[in-house]
Structure 1
Amino acid sequence: MASKRRGPLQIIRKDTETIKKKVDVLVKDVLNKSESSHDLLQRCQGLQRDGENILKALNALTKADEPAPVGNYDQRKQEEATKLQNILKHLETLFLELSPPGPSSILNDVTTREGEEEDDEDEEDSEDDSLSHPELWTVLDTFTGEQEGDLSVKKGDVLTIITKTSDGWWLAQNVEGKRGVVPKTFLKIKSGAGVDQEEHDDDDDDEDDSDEMDNLPEKSDKEKYSTENGESTPHSNWDTVKKALTEIDATDVLSAMGAIPSGFRPSTLNKLLTEEGIKYKGSHYLQPELSQSQLSFEDLFLDPDSGRVRPRHVKVSVCFTLWSCKHIPTPGVGVHVLSRHIHLCAFDGNQVLSNIHTVRATYNPKKPKTWTFSPRMTGILPALLDGDCFLRCNSSSPDLGILFELGVTFIRNSTGERGDLSCGWAFLKLTDDNGMLLPNRTYELSVCGGTPFEKDVPVEVSATKGSPTSVFQQMLKSRQQPKLIIKIKSAGSRTRIGLSLLPDSLLHSVSCIQLLTLHRQLLADALLMERPTMQSAALMCSPVLATFPLIVDQVDLLDALRSAWMDVYTSMSRSQKRDLSHVKQEFHRVYMSSAYFLLHAASLPSYRWADPSTEEQRARLIYTALDSLTHKQANTEALGGAEVYVNSDHEHLPFDITECTFDLLSVAR
């Protein structure tokens, strides 16, 4: 079969993978010190240039540049852009680590080459400079860094200021040689340091303001160097590093202000969900996994006798229930909490091994430090609130377990900025020292502060003052420690059968197993039975396969599909339920007139996490539409039929061919 010509987006995707591998090699070489710092720095700069060129080429691409239709083009383009931006951020951190303290010869060379171009910069940017004579400053108050690039300092420390920036976050080095940024409001010029009197006077004004925590610098507007006619001029790599280091969010500001409890951190798992495209989303793990040869599938097979998906047994398949969280500190004043939730995933102490699933907690203002989760219920309980979950994972790691990250999404009252905090985390190792699965029972897990990669970070609790010397005080403090209570339980025979048909790695709600297995069956039919040859990579017309992953990532639409399907499934006779062809036909019909129909409804707002007004509006439209469709078709069949698409009561988005195009090459893992 003639090979398909690669499109520009696919070429850039390949280039991105190549540069990522080179960055990984550079990181190893930096750790091993296999080359001189100068050579490593040169390699880092070269990779930065390559990455910026690839990103520039990506931004210039349009859908019309592709030789053939590409499904979900905008989403895939954005995913590649996110990957490149993360690579460039990593390179910026490496550049800072490799560059010597103070202006290096390389940086001076860059400044010299670009000096003529920067002559026309606005005077307001003149404060951003690398100092030829580093100055000594004294720390007025303790500052704890909350993100990569921050420098944690204590009151009284003496710092060498390397670079000053206009937004108030200065690059500094402590006596141990560690470098990072600190807010200038925490600093005072050290007595006897040689600086201009005018600059000293300005900094004295900053000193007067240092006691007012509200004056801490917030995230600045996006800066750019521009000429008088408004055109951007080239930056040095050092400018890029400074810009990355000076960008902070609401979480960092609130941490510096002491408005959030100690042990809280920016959410690690939320960052993976938002910055890594679909890599850690359930939709990604639903897609078929290619074998090493990429000529067959690793985890998708058919039973030739029954035509059903062949069951696969994995090393860990467990069902568990989230019960409650106790003694969880609350964010301080100045923030409004939009969501309390738990992110959970398979974890081995080093890396995430599954998708990241989220369950929202129920909150009672009368018990602000207690979170509860809804037990499994029959009916329309939203999957987002369903504490009944399952995990399938085929990892052979002896430390495999479930990572639970307790989180809140908040909005800052004064500025309207949104942020995501981790209130702590817990880990449950799923096997004992002999490799046997844990018994089915209730487990009470201690909640640790910091991130899953930090050890022994406490979460702030309101215990008795002073050191707990008495036995009673020690018992009281122990009882007030944050706890997460979960229960591992056995699964029924029907649930076990359904789980065995799912991908080798997946974490999701138990209430959605039947929908996931039906999608898996349709996927196997399309890929293993209906393709002309096993080597065919042609586009397939399948609205269900093309859009079902999108539904999984929009949990309210998944709930709508589950509700509509259960109405139909419960009305089937026993013989109809045993007839796989009939079940698949009915599922396709229900899907097209519920989830697929709603996904492309013009009146449905875009899905946005933890936005109460959007969630309420979407819920109202979804269930109003389902109720309307059910009543209008009550005289024919419960749900289904093409009539819904020509009904003048419902408006649809303009049709796009990607709505019904399944592209195996782009989605296979």
Structure 2
Amino acid sequence: MPPKRKGPLQTVQRETDDLKKQVDSLINATRQPSGSERTEEAFQRCILLQNSVEETTRKLKTLTKAAEPAPVGNYDQRKMEEERRLIRIREQLLALALELSPPQKQEGGSSSTKEDEEEEDSEEIETSDEDIIEDNDDEEDVDAKFTERIPDSGTDTFMVISTFKGEQEGDLTIQTGEVLMILSKNKDGWWLAQDSKGNKGLVPKTYLKIYSEQDKEDDDDEEEEEETEVSENENEELDDSKRKSCSNWESVKSAITEMDATNILSAMGAIPAGFRPSTLSKLLDEGISYRGSHFIQPELSQSKLSFKDLFLDPDTGKVRQRAVRTSLTLTLWSCKSIPTPGVGVQVLSRHIRLCAFDGAKVLSNIHTVRATCNSNNVKTWSFSPRMIGILPSLLDGNCFLRCSSDSPELGILFELGVAYIRNSTGERGDLSCGWAFLKLFDANGAPVPYKTYELLVRGGTPYENDVELDPSITRGGTGTGTSMIQQMMLSRKLPKLVLKLKSPKARTRSQLSVLPDTLVGSLSTIPLLVLHRQLLADVLLMDRATMQNADLICSPLLATFPEIVDQSDLLDALRNCWLEAEGNMKRSEKRDTDLLMKRFVSVYMENVYPLLYSADLPLPCWADETVENQRARVIFTSLKNTRTLNPSHTNSGHSPPCQKAFDISQITYDLLSMAQ
């Protein structure tokens, strides 16, 4: 019988087995006592094995089930297992490469000064590829595995033009006017820099400018004035820090060991090159400044003695309507060809965060809409175009935007994101899968037309304009010889966000005009926000003795409603209860503002207020399915008991829910701390 043909997947499995044996043998060999020559030899073998692992990984990713000569059961699962094995081998080689890294060779011995080191560094940069010493070749091979180097522009000294505070491990805190030495430049916009004290870390390139001769003269003048104030101890500390300057390899080694989770995932090939830590998610985590609960509060005037955006109409007793520059509605339809994280990362949530943006800063609250996708096509995200029944507002693709900014660059920023968990470590995080920006005004200041838009999703952060989300999509399709048909096919593969801008209907436009001047949210929550706004006007403008009175106000609804706005499931519970109560009201009762407000307060206090401080309700946790399900059960049970409870029967069999310890802030509205 002729021998059986080996399939491509079986061949890769054999190669992986062979690589595993070689890595284990190399690790065992390095554990034995050996000289420096033996260590250098092991380092060279480690680099070669890294290249082999990368080649095998690339070969594995190109395999398809159709290429197998015979049917293979559980093909996708077996392919995924091989990918996991290669990732583990790659991590082992990474740790071994860091352990076997060659020390820097110093020609002048231990007494070499910083000037000698700087001369050696400049010589290494200016030499050709043929003159680079053998150690640097090894260093560049290892460096290529983790960061994509950009040729230096000839200047490695930059000045800081804006203060940056390090937010993650590995970042370097810098101050305006400080001069930095750039050690390496990465394509993702984060450069490895060293300050005057010898501290090293990553800084964004947008915070730097080239250190010019004029800047140098200004710094020299300042240094001459400060030289007399510097003590001998400080000089000694500066000299010590200069002597501790590391070689290029040690800089790369430090950068690798201090990489954040996103860089590690990128180095492992688990996420596309254009993925970044979520910018808008980070803003939400910093406090309430970018949450809806902050923007629904009334804004004080410049004198702080009256309100800037909250007034009553004396004829009707309702909140006076206010026109702003931008007031529109939009519908999120879908996201196409969005890359997915690779092996080792489990996606917990796919979502879009949107806000008003002028190209430099966020101008409104950040609103989140969760996306859904089919397991057979995870690269296509979809949104609910219309609220039906008790569908959560978190899935509502219909949104509104109000903004009073007069910036000519005003637009809507959309950040596509995924919440993930690493299978190996259990670490959670929030990644940006790209972003898109829709400018709302043209060059002449006219509003853009209301229509359907297909926005290109870019990679990187909103402050980077030249980063591709997934370079593999456009690779080989952007040359000068590319035909029009190929360009059209390529355009269909590019990641895009599809949405529709709409002019609000008359009723919606009337409701939006009583809301705060700047706010982004779901269309389904507008009636609740309007009622809250009316109650604010009644309490703050009508019920206070004088406009200068800033005493605490007893109003549980005003004190706690902002917390409901930031917890979408409780806001949905209030919306459903209010729709039911409003449906039982007569038309004449709905026209009576005072009666309507009393009924709204009653519904809120009976159904939602007890839930907010229930001991059984766990604290909200974003993209945690266990917590979300537990909260949903508690909310459903509480609302069901409230509806079946007959006030005339005190012993109904339903025990009151266990409440948290009482605090005075649960029933008092503090105008001074709550108003903007």
1:497 to 510, 519, 527: 510
Q: Is the alpha carbon distance of 1:405 and 1:570 closer, same or farther for their aligned partners in structure 2, counting shifts above 3 Å? A: same
Match of 1:251 in 2: 262
**Cα offset, 1:418, TM superposition:** 0.9
**Cα offset, 1:644, TM superposition:** 12
2:275 partner amino acid: F
Match of 1:619 in 2: 632
Q: Is the alpha carbon distance of 1:157 and 1:502 closer, same or farther for their aligned partners in structure 2, counting shifts above 3 Å? A: closer
Q: Does 1:558 align with 2:571?
A: yes
Q: Is the alpha carbon distance of 1:145 and 1:456 closer, same or farther for their aligned partners in structure 2, counting shifts above 3 Å? A: farther
Match of 1:231 in 2: none
Q: Deviations over 1:314-353 (max 9, x none)?
A: 0100001000000000011111111100010001111111
Of 352-361 and 454-463, more deviation after overlay is shown by 454-463
1:273 to 266, 284, 289: 284
In the superposition, the TM-score normalised over structure 2's length comes to 0.64
Once superposed, what is the RMSD of the aligned Cα atoms? 3.7
SS, match of residue 498 in structure 1: helix
Q: Is the alpha carbon distance of 1:596 and 1:143 closer, same or farther for their aligned partners in structure 2, counting shifts above 3 Å? A: farther
Distance 1:414 1:216 in 2: 19
Distance 2:628 2:378 in 1: 23
SS, match of residue 377 in structure 2: coil
**Cα offset, 1:393, TM superposition:** 0.5
Match of 1:70 in 2: none
**Cα offset, 1:132, TM superposition:** 11
1:655 partner amino acid: F
Match of 2:96 in 1: none
Match of 2:552 in 1: 539
Q: Deviations over 1:540-571 (max 9, x none)?
A: 11100100000000111101111111110111
Distance 2:663 2:653 in 1: 17
Q: Deviations over 1:396-432 (max 9, x none)?
A: 1111111000011111111111111111111111122
Distance 1:434 1:332 in 2: 44
Q: Does 1:411 align with 2:418?
A: no
Distance 2:170 2:457 in 1: 33
Q: What pairs with 1:571-650 in structure 2 (closer than 5 Å)? A: 571-633=584-646, 648-650=655-657
Q: Does 1:384 align with 2:394?
A: yes
Q: Is the alpha carbon distance of 1:439 and 1:635 closer, same or farther for their aligned partners in structure 2, counting shifts above 3 Å? A: farther
The question of whether the paired residues in 2 share the 8 Å contact of 1:324 and 1:370 is answered with yes
Gaps of 5+ in 1: 1-129, 161-166, 184-198, 218-245, 637-642
Distance 1:621 1:439 in 2: 45
Q: Is the alpha carbon distance of 1:417 and 1:535 closer, same or farther for their aligned partners in structure 2, counting shifts above 3 Å? A: same
Q: Is the alpha carbon distance of 1:447 and 1:288 closer, same or farther for their aligned partners in structure 2, counting shifts above 3 Å? A: same
Match of 1:664 in 2: 671
Q: What pairs with 1:57-68 in structure 2 (closer than 5 Å)? A: none
The question of whether the paired residues in 2 share the 8 Å contact of 1:400 and 1:430 is answered with yes
Match of 1:549 in 2: 562
Match of 1:441 in 2: 451
SS, match of residue 278 in structure 1: coil
Q: Is the alpha carbon distance of 1:144 and 1:294 closer, same or farther for their aligned partners in structure 2, counting shifts above 3 Å? A: farther
**Cα offset, 1:467, TM superposition:** 3.9
The question of whether the paired residues in 2 share the 8 Å contact of 1:158 and 1:175 is answered with no
1:351 to 361, 374, 384: 361
In the superposition, the TM-score normalised over structure 1's length comes to 0.65
1:254 partner amino acid: L
SS, match of residue 340 in structure 2: coil
Match of 2:140 in 1: 140
Identity %: 56
Match of 2:385 in 1: 375
Q: Deviations over 1:262-295 (max 9, x none)?
A: 11111111111112x1000000001110011111
Distance 1:494 1:646 in 2: 44
Q: Deviations over 1:587-639 (max 9, x none)?
A: 10111112211101110000111111101110111112111211224989xxx
SS, match of residue 594 in structure 1: helix
The question of whether the paired residues in 2 share the 8 Å contact of 1:444 and 1:483 is answered with yes
The question of whether the paired residues in 1 share the 8 Å contact of 2:193 and 2:201 is answered with no
Distance 1:309 1:320 in 2: 25
Match of 2:660 in 1: 653
Distance 1:576 1:142 in 2: 75
Of 502-511 and 370-379, more deviation after overlay is shown by 370-379
Distance 2:651 2:603 in 1: 12
**Cα offset, 1:142, TM superposition:** 7.2
Q: What pairs with 1:444-455 in structure 2 (closer than 5 Å)? A: 444-455=454-465
The question of whether the paired residues in 2 share the 8 Å contact of 1:142 and 1:155 is answered with no
Distance 1:525 1:448 in 2: 46
Q: What pairs with 1:185-224 in structure 2 (closer than 5 Å)? A: 217=257
Match of 2:4 in 1: none
Q: Is the alpha carbon distance of 1:270 and 1:134 closer, same or farther for their aligned partners in structure 2, counting shifts above 3 Å? A: farther
Gaps of 5+ in 2: 1-112, 122-134, 157-167, 173-180, 186-190, 195-199, 203-243
Greater Rg by CA: 2
Q: Is the alpha carbon distance of 1:361 and 1:170 closer, same or farther for their aligned partners in structure 2, counting shifts above 3 Å? A: closer
Equivalent residue pairs, number:
474
Of 493-502 and 459-468, more deviation after overlay is shown by 459-468
Q: Is the alpha carbon distance of 1:152 and 1:471 closer, same or farther for their aligned partners in structure 2, counting shifts above 3 Å? A: closer
Distance 2:114 2:562 in 1: 52
Distance 1:454 1:423 in 2: 14
Distance 2:671 2:283 in 1: 25
